[in-house]
Amino acid sequence: MDDSYVSSAVEAVLGVPGQRTQPTDHVYSDVDHLVAHALQSNDAFVTTDWKTILRFRKKLEALGIRVLPPDEAVRLVEP
Protein backbone atom coordinates (compact mmCIF):
# COMPACT_ATOMS: atom_id res chain seq x y z
CA MET A 1 0.00 0.00 0.00
CA ASP A 2 1.44 3.40 -0.98
CA ASP A 3 1.79 5.77 1.98
CA SER A 4 1.08 8.95 -0.02
CA TYR A 5 -2.15 7.42 -1.35
CA VAL A 6 -3.22 6.32 2.13
CA SER A 7 -2.32 9.70 3.60
CA SER A 8 -4.32 11.56 0.94
CA ALA A 9 -7.28 9.23 1.38
CA VAL A 10 -7.28 9.59 5.19
CA GLU A 11 -6.92 13.38 4.90
CA ALA A 12 -9.95 13.42 2.59
CA VAL A 13 -12.03 11.35 5.02
CA LEU A 14 -11.10 13.49 8.03
CA GLY A 15 -11.66 16.69 6.05
CA VAL A 16 -8.13 18.01 6.39
CA PRO A 17 -7.85 21.45 4.80
CA GLY A 18 -4.93 21.76 2.36
CA GLN A 19 -1.37 22.05 3.60
CA ARG A 20 -0.16 21.45 7.12
CA THR A 21 0.24 24.79 8.82
CA GLN A 22 1.74 23.55 12.06
CA PRO A 23 3.33 20.13 12.50
CA THR A 24 1.64 19.79 15.88
CA ASP A 25 -1.91 20.20 14.56
CA HIS A 26 -4.05 17.52 16.21
CA VAL A 27 -5.77 16.43 13.00
CA TYR A 28 -2.44 15.84 11.25
CA SER A 29 -1.29 13.75 14.16
CA ASP A 30 -4.45 11.68 13.69
CA VAL A 31 -3.69 11.30 9.99
CA ASP A 32 -0.13 10.19 10.75
CA HIS A 33 -1.29 7.61 13.29
CA LEU A 34 -3.99 6.21 10.99
CA VAL A 35 -1.61 6.00 8.03
CA ALA A 36 1.01 4.19 10.13
CA HIS A 37 -1.70 1.82 11.33
CA ALA A 38 -2.81 1.07 7.77
CA LEU A 39 0.72 0.55 6.50
CA GLN A 40 1.47 -1.90 9.33
CA SER A 41 -1.72 -3.88 8.55
CA ASN A 42 -2.79 -3.87 12.19
CA ASP A 43 -6.10 -5.45 13.15
CA ALA A 44 -7.75 -2.41 14.73
CA PHE A 45 -6.98 1.20 15.59
CA VAL A 46 -8.31 1.80 19.10
CA THR A 47 -9.28 5.31 20.16
CA THR A 48 -11.70 7.29 22.29
CA ASP A 49 -11.67 10.19 19.83
CA TRP A 50 -15.25 10.46 18.61
CA LYS A 51 -14.82 14.06 17.47
CA THR A 52 -12.08 13.45 14.92
CA ILE A 53 -11.77 9.73 14.19
CA LEU A 54 -14.58 7.44 15.34
CA ARG A 55 -17.33 9.45 13.66
CA PHE A 56 -15.66 8.55 10.34
CA ARG A 57 -15.18 4.87 11.13
CA LYS A 58 -17.28 3.57 8.21
CA LYS A 59 -15.37 5.68 5.71
CA LEU A 60 -12.06 4.67 7.25
CA GLU A 61 -13.08 1.03 7.15
CA ALA A 62 -13.70 1.44 3.41
CA LEU A 63 -9.99 2.34 3.22
CA GLY A 64 -9.10 -0.83 5.12
CA ILE A 65 -8.63 0.92 8.47
CA ARG A 66 -10.73 -0.66 11.21
CA VAL A 67 -11.36 1.89 13.96
CA LEU A 68 -12.87 0.86 17.29
CA PRO A 69 -13.60 2.39 20.68
CA PRO A 70 -11.96 0.54 23.60
CA ASP A 71 -15.13 -1.28 24.71
CA GLU A 72 -15.48 -2.89 21.26
CA ALA A 73 -11.76 -3.63 20.98
CA VAL A 74 -11.81 -5.53 24.28
CA ARG A 75 -14.40 -7.90 22.81
CA LEU A 76 -11.93 -8.82 20.07
CA VAL A 77 -9.47 -10.25 22.56
CA GLU A 78 -11.73 -11.61 25.28
CA PRO A 79 -12.19 -15.40 25.21
Q: Return the domain boundaries, the chain.
A: 3-77
- Compute the average pLDDT of residues 23-31: 72
Given pLDDT bands bounded at 50, 70 and 90, which one contains residue 61? Answer: very high
**Residue 13 in this model has a pLDDT that exceeds 70:** yes
State residue 42's pLDDT score. 87
State residue 11's pLDDT score. 84
* CB 76, CB 54: distance < 8 Å: no
23 alpha-carbon distance from chain centroid: 17
**Residue 39 in this model has a pLDDT that exceeds 80:** yes
- The pTM assigned to this predicted structure is 0.79
Phi (first) and psi of residue 44, to 5 degrees? -155, 145
